[in-house]
């Protein structure tokens, strides 16, 4: 007779879950033993927060919920950082944590906190498993995780649960197919058609929900047919090519003032799967009517913006109604848009002979194949990447912009390589973010993952320094290291290649991508390359 641990791991296999990321505990041994005997792998990480990030990125790239584990107390609190990221970046994740057995609930117990209370605001659903309702709760949790909009769920595992006899199995599990989102109400779609047909300068603003809906090709066709510009949110990069005639830029990242010259002209903003978890509408909306196409109503101050149409329903169906319309009398000047786009990308060209963030990113983009994946951390460099990084398709540039936790880049790249082993994968991180999850390099080495970790080493928290300048404060508390500190040849057994100019950096990247294991490329860039690019106001 199998035990509960073996039963749960078998259910994971049936659901298509191939890995569980985490740090083990005594009560987790039964689950590890079950994985040792199965096709589900346990991936030992250095910190449970990274396990949650890896589970999130796995879900993004596979379409199957990611899974992660932390032990009771500190393991759970560490795990919560990655779980919160899955919540606000909209990824289906199953977060597991050990909890005291039933007789000890409410008692004074070493390490224990109320983990149901801990995870309640960080998940879509949280519960404790029991032997007689493992299948019931697991299937319910997975259904909730994958349903629109997706997010994490938490399952508390009593410490004595894994060894107990498994429940009787009636049938195999299958990954639930989320219920289709119905089309918006006919009257709302009619209003959408009327507003769009009557606008002289409508604008498509494409967000994270549109990525999940898989409507990139439809966005392109609507833009071309009606001759309207498209603005993206950072996590929607790849939904329209940067060299497309109607591409207008990314909201709120570097040179957002250039992007605003387009969107401030709009008399109708069409939010296509726009999720305000990245930026609230109020932070940038022009004085225009808003048509919001998503599965939930627009989250906007309706006293300030009373002209809002909520076409709540299937995003694809709403876009298809726009595509079916006769071409509108668009007043947009494609030539002026092209000039703004060209000026914006010209500003990202590094000065001759310089070696700052612009040069490092430009050269990496040239070396990394078009179908390669780049995971970026949070910091000043993110604002450059959000605008200047050419992203041929969704999923090829991975970032966090809902949770926006520093330390995201390294575990995200590791998860991407595990999920796409034949794809070239790079990580771009500042030295501040790198310090937060540098221990995960041991995971990359142990798993023999050929990931190139590019560390933009300017020895400062550049984004905070820029914010201090904006408030006319002196720089304080942002220096990470002294310039004379020597570099290392290895970090946790991972080789380090140091570069301090464009030529040595390009050579380092080319060498790193040819190696069969993880490599750190320490790019000793000059600080200050961001000052002229991400301090400019968008209005």
The least confident of 143-157, 287-301, 479-493, 506-520 is 479-493
Q: Once rounded to an integer, what is the mean pLDDT over residues 180-204? A: 97
- Is 527 or 427 the better-scoring residue by pLDDT? 427
Asked whether the predicted pLDDT for residue 35 surpasses 50, the reply is yes
Q: What pLDDT is recorded for position 483?
A: 65
Q: Reduce the DSSP state of residue 166 to 3 states and report it.
A: coil
Distance CA 443, CA 494 (A): 10
Tens of pLDDT, residue by residue over 475-497, are: 877 777 766 666 789 999 999 99
- Name the CATH code of domain 349-534 (choices 3.30.2290.10, 3.40.50.300, 2.70.98.60, 3.40.50.970): 3.40.50.970
Whether pLDDT at 449 is above 50: yes
Question: Has residue 194 got a pLDDT over 50?
Answer: yes
pLDDT number for residue 440: 98
Average pLDDT over residues 83-110: 92
- Provide the pLDDT for residue 482: 65
Strands in 295-438 per DSSP E: 308-312, 373-376, 397-398, 425-430
Structure confidence at residue 536 (pLDDT): 53
**CATH architecture label of 4-158:** 3-Layer(aba) Sandwich (3.40)
For the segment 123-171, what is each residue's pLDDT rounded down to a tens digit?
Answer: 999 999 999 999 999 999 999 999 999 999 999 999 999 999 998 876 8
Q: Which residues of 327-353 are buried (b: 16+ CB within 10 A; e: fewer)?
A: ebebebeeeebeebbeebbeebebeee
Query: Residues of the chain with pLDDT > 70: what percent?
Result: 98
Q: What is the pLDDT of residue 118?
A: 96
Mean pLDDT of 496-508: 97
Identify the residue with better confidence: 106 or 426: 426
Q: Which of 406, 537, 519 minimizes the C-alpha distance to 50?
A: 406
pLDDT at 102: 84
Question: In the prediction, which pLDDT does 330 show?
Answer: 97
CATH superfamily of 186-341: TPP-binding domain (3.40.50.1220)
pLDDT category at 376 given cuts 50, 70, 90 is very high
**For residue 539, what pLDDT is reported?**
45
Q: What is the pTM of this model?
A: 0.94
Q: Which of these, 301, 332, 317, 279, lies nearest to 192 by C-alpha position?
A: 317
The mean pLDDT value of the chain amounts to 94
Q: Mean pLDDT over residues 402-419, rounded? A: 97
d(CA 213, CA 201): 25
Same fold yes or no, 186-341 and 349-534: yes
Q: Which of the residue ranges 172-176, 361-365, 478-482 has the most confident prediction, judged by mean pLDDT?
A: 361-365
Domain chopping of the chain, boundaries: 4-158, 186-341, 349-534
Instruction: For 221-271, write each residue's pLDDT tens digit.
Output: 999 999 999 999 999 999 999 999 999 999 999 999 999 999 999 999 999
Residues contacting residue 510 through CB under 8 Å, at least 6 positions apart: 367
Measured N-to-C along each axis, helices 380-388 and 357-367 cross at an angle, to the nearest 10 degrees, of 50
In this prediction, residue 171 carries a pLDDT of 81
Residue of 147, 152, 142 lying closest to 118 (CA atoms) = 152
The position carrying tokens 């404060």 is 473
**What is the average pLDDT across 51-70?**
98
| Residues with Cβ within 8 Å of residue 428, at least 6 apart in sequence | 361, 364, 374, 375, 376, 377, 381, 385, 409, 454, 456
The predicted pLDDT at position 466 comes to 74
């Amino acid at each position: 007779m199998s035990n509960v641990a073996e039963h749960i791991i078998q259910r994971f296999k049936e659901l298509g879950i191939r890995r569980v990321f985490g740090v083990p505990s005594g009560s987790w041994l039964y689950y590890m033993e079950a994985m040792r005997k199965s096709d589900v792998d346990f991936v030992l990480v250095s910190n449970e927060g990274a396990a949650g990030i890896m589970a999130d990125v796995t879900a993004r790239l596979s379409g199957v919920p990611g899974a992660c584990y932390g032990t009771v107390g500190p393991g759970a609190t560490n795990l919560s950082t990655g779980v919160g990221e899955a919540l606000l970046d909209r990824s289906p994740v199953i977060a597991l944590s050990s909890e005291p057995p039933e007789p000890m609930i409410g008692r004074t117990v070493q390490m224990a906190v109320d983990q149901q209370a801990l995870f309640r605001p960080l998940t879509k659903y949280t519960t404790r498993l029991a032997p007689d309702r493992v299948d019931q709760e697991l299937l319910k949790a997975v259904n909730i995780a994958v349903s629109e909009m997706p997010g994490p769920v938490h399952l508390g595992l009593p410490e004595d649960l894994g060894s107990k006899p498994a429940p009787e199995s009636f049938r195999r599990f299958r990954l639930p197919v989320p219920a289709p989102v119905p089309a918006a109400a006919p009257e709302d779609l009619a209003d959408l058609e009327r507003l769009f047909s009557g606008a002289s300068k409508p604008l498509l603003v494409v967000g994270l929900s549109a990525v999940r809906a898989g409507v990139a090709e439809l966005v392109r066709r609507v833009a071309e047919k009606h001759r309207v510009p498209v603005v993206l949110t950072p996590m929607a990069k790849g939904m329209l090519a940067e060299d497309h005639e109607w591409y207008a830029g990314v909201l709120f990242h570097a040179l957002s003032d250039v992007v605003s010259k387009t969107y401030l002209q709009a008399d109708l903003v069409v939010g296509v799967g726009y999720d305000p978890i990245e930026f609230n509408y109020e932070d940038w909306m022009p004085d225009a009517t808003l048509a919001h196409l998503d599965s939930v109503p627009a989250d906007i101050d309706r006293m300030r913006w009373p002209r809002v149409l909520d076409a709540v329903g299937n995003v694809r169906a709403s876009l298809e109604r726009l595509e079916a319309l006769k071409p509108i009398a668009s007043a947009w000047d494609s030539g002026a848009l092209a000039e703004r786009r060209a000026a914006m990308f010209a500003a990202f060209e590094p000065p001759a002979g310089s070696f700052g963030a612009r040069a490092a990113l430009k050269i990496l983009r040239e070396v990394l194949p078009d179908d390669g994946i780049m995971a970026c951390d949070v910091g000043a460099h993110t604002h450059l990447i959000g605008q200047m990084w050419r992203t041929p398709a969704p999923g090829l540039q991975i970032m966090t912009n809902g949770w926006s936790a520093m330390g995201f880049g390294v575990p995200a790249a590791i998860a991407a390589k595990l999920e796409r082993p034949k794809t070239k994968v790079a990580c771009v991180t500042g030295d501040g973010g790198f310090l937060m999850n540098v221990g995960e390099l041991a995971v990359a080495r142990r798993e023999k993952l050929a990931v190139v970790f590019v560390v933009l080493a300017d020895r400062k928290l550049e984004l905070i320094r820029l914010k201090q300048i904006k408030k006319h404060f002196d720089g304080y508390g942002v220096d990470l290291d002294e310039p004379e500190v020597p570099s290392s040849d290895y970090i946790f057994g991972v080789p380090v290649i140091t570069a301090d100019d464009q030529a040595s950096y390009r050579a380092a990247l080319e060498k790193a991508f040819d190696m069969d294991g993880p490599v750190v490329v320490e790019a000793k860039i000059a600080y200050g390359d961001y000052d002229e690019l991400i301090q400019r106001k968008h209005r």
